Structure 1
Amino acid sequence: MLLAAAARSHAAPPPISAFFDNTPFNGAMLSPNGRYLAAFIGANDRRDGLAVVDLDTMQANMVAQFNDTDIGKAQWVNNDRLLYSTADKSTGQRDVRYAPGLFVVDRDGKHYKQLALRRNQFVRNGEDNNDLLPWHTYMLDQAGAQDSEYVYVKDISFSSVGNLLSEDLLRLNTRNGKAESVDHPSSARSWLLDQNGEPRLVQTLEQNIATIRYLDPASKAWRTLASFDAYTGGGGFQPLAFGPDGALYVVSNTGRDNSALYRYDLEHGKLPPRHLVELDGFDFRGHLIISNNKLLGIRIHSDAEGTVWFDPAMQALQAKVDKILPGTVNLLTPPTRPQSPWLLVESYSDKQPRRYLVYNTDSGRTSEVGRMAPQIKPAEMGARELYHIKARDGLQLPVWLTLPPGAQQKNLPMVVLVHGGPWVRGGSWNWDAEAQFLASRGYAVLEPEFRGSTGYGRQLFQAGWKQWGLKMQDDIADSTRWAIAQGHADAKRICIAGASYGGYATLMGLINDPDLYKCGIDWVGVTDINLMYDSGWFHSSDLPAEWKQFGMPVLIGDQVQDAAQLQATSPLAQAARIKQPLLLAYGGADRRVPINHGTKFRDAVQAAGNTQVEWVEYSEEGHGWYLPKNRIDFWGRVEKFLDKNLGTH
């Protein structure tokens, strides 16, 4: 047994491509009646296509595939027809020439029709066709009624730098391609369809004020339900869905720290006194599960995804599936109008990438449809857990810790992986490619949910306002010192790393806590807050003007009132203080954090001459690595950089 354990510990880890290559399977969805399954599949070096499986016969048929691009999104129009768009997975942001387009096809591959242009948004070419909708027509991320030839799609207006200006709605006949616009007030930014698949809510934005308006079915007039600051929130709610009976379900944190799910009082235009579902320690995140015009349950996402079933039959089915698939989270999705015994099952854990199966409620049989990251073996992955620690000022911080597989779990070299955003939730209990790749190379991986992170209550979020490089940075250091005190990390072998805001925090970590971090890895990271406000005439940024005017001064810092603070928390201004080795990587076509963030900082560090800098530019990439070759190259560089500066032995 000892010899076997030793042999396993020296076995070669999974290749980098197992974590970061494009996966040949990209998900599946049941038809409304549950008899057919549509799946996104790429095989034999061909572009990702759309296949349909007849679950009664288990016969599969590729119904849509292009030679020059991939199928991006799709949805069932009805039981016999699919709507889909494209996404070119072989092209970086610099070289993108095409919009996603819109197409339809029957489930047997017949009656294919193009509905919207797929062409360069600025250059006219031979694909122009007056019979097609314009290139800026996009799928709506809501299924609709799925009982006719009609769907609702978005007609989006963009600014010159690609920001969303408005989102109009079109009712589209997928057989003849004819569309008519939906009337609405003000400048629409998002829509919500009701239980009949008809437009019922619109959210508008005027400067920084978001307003939610409801189309009253009795009066046929729009009325305002709520208005609130779009950037700082507070006092409003987020519409989630309409139930089968027309009830509106919303998410709100009014009068509480963590947001909860409510059944909104449409008659009186207010939240009810009691919530419907809350998640202990987490903001509500999830969706309704509706089948056969009945609300069966609610999909939730706390530390992991799960389901609260109201329906006893679904509770029993969940227990059966969990017995068949032990040790994993198993998410059951029934068809919306079932006429067959099939359910879709998504199964995953912290060590197992998501796999898709179908379950037959009559026979109790499961059949695997496909899996993400198919080269990954769960036995070779590390455990991932959520802890809660206290920052130096007493604020509670969630932190994710992923440990390498194997017996030795103490005093490990560690990578502190800082999430971007920063106003997002960073981690979840699932298989995470970046964390598991690093763990497979022998590193503990710490991912702090520092103040400013969302998903854990308004107190944590609001505590991060104007704290870039200050208390947000202290939270990351406090999390690191916690891992050392717990014996997880070797205090002499810790590297800090991250992308976007995480890249900023990496650089500020090296500046603020030079005794804590032995090296840093920054990709597409912000290096100066003032550069976010104005990146210069030569480097265009896609940050919206409204965000710079109303959001950034409150959440990050005002250029005039907080000028001294922005200077003190600028990695670019403090570059000479960095003495640890650095790996810097930037995208040449990045419009969120233009490359001059990276080049100016690189030049400043090199001019100071206090450290070694490894620089890489992926000229065709934007804000992150879209192409597998670049993901694999980058993480190969990370592996070598860490081995050189930390080592795992």
Structure 2
Amino acid sequence: MNVRWFFCLALFFQPYLLAYELLPVDAFGALPQSEQVKLSPDGKHFSYVINKSGNSYLGVTNIQTGEKRILVHTDNQIFKITWYLWANNQQILISADYPAGKKQKKHTITRLLKIKIDGKSKAESVFQPRVGDLRPQFQNRIIDILPDEPNHILMQLSLKSYNRPDVYKLDISSKRKRSLVHRGNSDTTFWMADRQHRVRLGYAIDETKRFYRLCDKNGENWRKVWEYELFDEPDVTPLGFGLNPEHLYIRALHKGRYAIFVVDVSTKDLDRELIYADARYDIEGSLIYSTKTNDVIGVYHGEANNGKIYFDEKYEEFQAALNKAIPDSFNDIVSMSHDENKYILFSRSNATPGAYYLGDRKAKYIDYILQQYPKLYEQSLSPKTKIKYQSRDGIEIEGYVTLPHKNVPNKHAAIVIPHGGPMVREYSGFDWFSQFFASRGYTVLEPNFRGSSGYGFEFEVASIRQWGGKMQDDLADAAHWMVKQYRIPAKQVCIVGSSYGGYAAMMAAVKQQNTFKCSASFAGVSDLEYIVSSAKNFTNYDIVKKQFGSDSDYLEQQSPVNFSKKINIPLLLIHGEHDTVVDVYHSREMYAELKAVGKQVDYIELKNGNHYLEIEANRLATLEAIEAFLNRHL
């Protein structure tokens, strides 16, 4: 009778069990169908990167005729399109990343490619070294586009001495035509031009000391300005010149948060005026320039309603009109023609991925053109909601919660996802990774733990020599808060992270087994000693030593790889074999140590994989592996 009753229950509940259908993994894990949509200067074409079946294509569409043309194709393994821009109305410049190096010296080299939009030629390098030139690692650092000379750009290149870039004027119609504009210094790594296309500012490094070299508008007198010791005192960051060549916009500390100032560089004391400050958050974005006036009109700010703060009323009014036309959305003007008549709008919300629109201000129309995640269009997703919790020592921590989607059963289980960096932060808005797990019924919390950027200098530098310390405690506190707030069983929380977040996930498996039931790490750091020692091969060695410390006993104690015997919760490790940021050694060694002592560990190594899951097959495999892992243990 018990068997018959059980069978009847199964029949009764069968319609309920089949009432929902999980969205496919590739709805979230496929590369965005479209991204980086931009207008040509004359507004007659728009360009875009299209991702399809794991391949990426740079395309262009003629707005008047509708004719489409694919210009460049990559499988994202030989090279990756990182960004591109219009050099003029007929030519596009493309920054391409290529993996390089062998064994422990893996790195990325960059090249600047050019392609004409008529489709009659293939993409080729902008620059060809001459006999006697060095072959620098970075060949994509454009200093300025020269609109009055549409076939010319200013570019910094280290051709005569490694890591000492000079500034050259390059003719992009020829691979070899160039002229020296400014000779570099041995300690200067980046250069900046003013709006009149003159080299005016250099960013210099002396071990862990930072300073700038500033030149007057006549190009005659250089002086050292804004000197500071990295991590020990707040930095000053020049963002760009205004149309007035004596106005330089900077980011500097103001009442505990980084704000925007304009500096009169003609004055001896570099007099500054506060332009914009947010009492709660740092301003972390770049300047916004008018394509029409060539002057500063605002700044990107992730905590603003539309990610921007405008200094000019005309643009504020235009933004308000867009918000009225598309309410309850994040509406971002991502590109404008030089006359600012035509524009590309990217619109999204906290619960929906974005779509691109083409607008015409004179004709007063706006047309849909491209979708980012078409399989998620009009799906019932969950908004990412800002929350706050208290750390055990009384620090207020912000984060973002994504609840299980309404159309799937709630698993009454949770995931804490610490971000990478760690000196970066999470923002609101659609995120494919957290949305995927919410679509599987999990409650997801992404905390901006101590050491994250955006909350002032002191909060950010709390990460220095603190890996495995209070930053780690903040993650356990996040889990405890979530258990209480959302009534989740205490033994139903896992931690999933990548890069620094992967380190935190592994360290949680060492130190926080009473909080987390399982741990998954993608591209995580397992050995801090290895991080410091391998940095000897690169120019940032002094910075790495200062960030992590050089005491081998301390580094050993904060490295998960040394504590395999202590780990008693399931651990999943995933790593790309060609990761140039965190070497695959970290996961291989961690796996070997855990297997040697018979611990419960799975390891997946992604073929040709890099640090950013830019190969679609690897992204899908990662989501599938983590989902299966969580299903087993939650």
State the TM bucket, normalised to the shorter chain. Answer: 0.7 to 0.9
Contact conserved, 2:493 with 2:518, CA < 8 A, in 1?
yes
CA-CA distance at 1:456 after TM superposition: 1.5
Q: Is the 8 A contact 1:76 1:146 kept in 2?
A: no
Aligned with 1:78 (options 88, 106, 127)? 88
Q: Describe the shift of the 1:416–1:543 C-alpha distance in structure 2 as closer, same or farther (beyond 3 A).
A: farther
1:256 aligns to 2:255 (yes or no): yes
- Letter of the aligned partner of 1:579 in structure 2? N
- Show the 5 A alignment for 1:457-468: 457-468=456-467
Structure-1 residue corresponding to 2:413: 413
1:284 matches 2:283: yes
**1:475: how far off?**
0.8
Q: Is the Cα–Cα contact under 8 Å of residues 81 and 105 in structure 1 kept in the other structure?
A: yes
- Alignment gaps of 5+ in structure 2: 1-14
Measure, in 1, the Cα distance between the counterparts of 2:398 and 2:580: 31
CA separation in 2, counterparts of 1:407 and 1:112?
47
Does the CA contact (< 8 Å) of 1:136 and 1:157 recur in 2? no
Instruction: Compute the displacement of 1:27 (Å).
Output: 1.7
Q: Match of 1:437? A: 436
Residue aligning to 1:316: 317
Structure 1 607/644 Cα, relative in aligned 2: closer, same or farther at 3 Å? same
Give the deviation of 1:71 after TM superposition: 5.1
Q: 1:590 aligns to what?
A: 579
**SS in structure 2 at match of 1:422:** coil
Q: Distance in 2 between matches of 1:408 and 1:113?
A: 46
Encode CA deviations 1:190-242: one digit per residue, 9 max, x unaligned. 2222112332211122222222112212252322222222x316254111111
Superposed, 1:571-586 pairs within 5 Å as 571-586=560-575
1:23 aligns with 2:32: yes
- Aligned equivalent of 1:478: 477
**Are 1:621 and 2:623 an aligned pair?**
no
Q: Please, which runs of 5 or more residues in structure 1 have no aligned partner? A: 1-5, 119-127, 535-540
1:637 aligns with 2:625: yes
Of residues 171, 174, 179, the one that matches 2:172 is 174
* C-alpha distance in structure 2 between counterparts of 1:574 and 1:345, whole Å: 50
Q: How does 1:547-562 map to 2 (within 5 A)?
A: 547-553=540-546, 555-559=547-551
Structure 2 CA distance for partners of 1:117 and 1:48, relative to 1, 3 Å: farther
1:390 positional shift: 1.8
User: C-alpha separation between the residues in 2 aligned to 1:271 and 1:388?
Assistant: 39
- Does the Cα contact within 8 Å between 2:262 and 2:272 map onto a contact in 1? no
1:602 to 571, 579, 591: 591
Distance 1:568 1:301, change over 3 A: same
Identity %: 25
Instruction: Find the aligned partners of 1:98 and 1:525 in 2 and give their Cα distance.
Output: 19
Q: Is the 8 A contact 1:411 1:490 kept in 2?
A: no
* CA deviation vs aligned residue, 1:324-355 (integer Å, no higher than 9, x gap): 222211012563630x6212212122222232
Counterpart in the other structure of 2:163: 165
**Contact 2:38 / 2:344 at 8 angstroms: preserved in 1?**
yes
Find the counterpart in structure 1 of residue 397 from structure 2.
397
Give yes or no for the alignment of 1:566 onto 2:555.
yes
Aligned AA (2:174): N
Equivalent residue, structure 2, for 1:368? 368
Residue identity opposite 1:259 in structure 2: Y
Letter in 2 for 1:573: N
Q: TM-score, normalization: structure 2?
A: 0.86
CA deviation string 1:77-122 (max 9, x = no partner): 2233322344579x9999999965444344434577734479xxxx
Counterpart in 2 of 1:104?
114
Whole-Å separation in 1 of the counterparts to 2:117 and 2:314: 30
Q: How does 1:213-292 map to 2 (within 5 A)?
A: 213-229=213-229, 231-232=230-231, 234-246=233-245, 247-253=247-253, 256-268=255-267, 270=269, 272=271, 274-286=273-285, 287-292=287-292
| Aligned length in residues | 612
Q: In the superposition, relative to structure 1, how do residues 272 and 129 fare at CA in structure 2: closer, same or farther (>3 Å)?
A: closer
Q: Distance in 1 between matches of 2:355 and 2:243?
A: 30
The residue identity in structure 2 corresponding to 1:615 is Y
> Contact (CA 8 Å) 2:231, 2:464: kept in 1 or not?
no
Distance in 2 (CA, whole Å) between partners of 1:176 and 1:408 is 58
User: CA RMSD for the aligned pairs?
Assistant: 3.5
**CA offsets per residue over residues 555-602 of structure 1, 9 Å max, x none?**
333315xx2x43433322222111111111223333443333223322
Q: Give the alignment's TM-score, normalised by structure 1.
A: 0.84
Q: Secondary structure at the match of 1:434?
A: helix
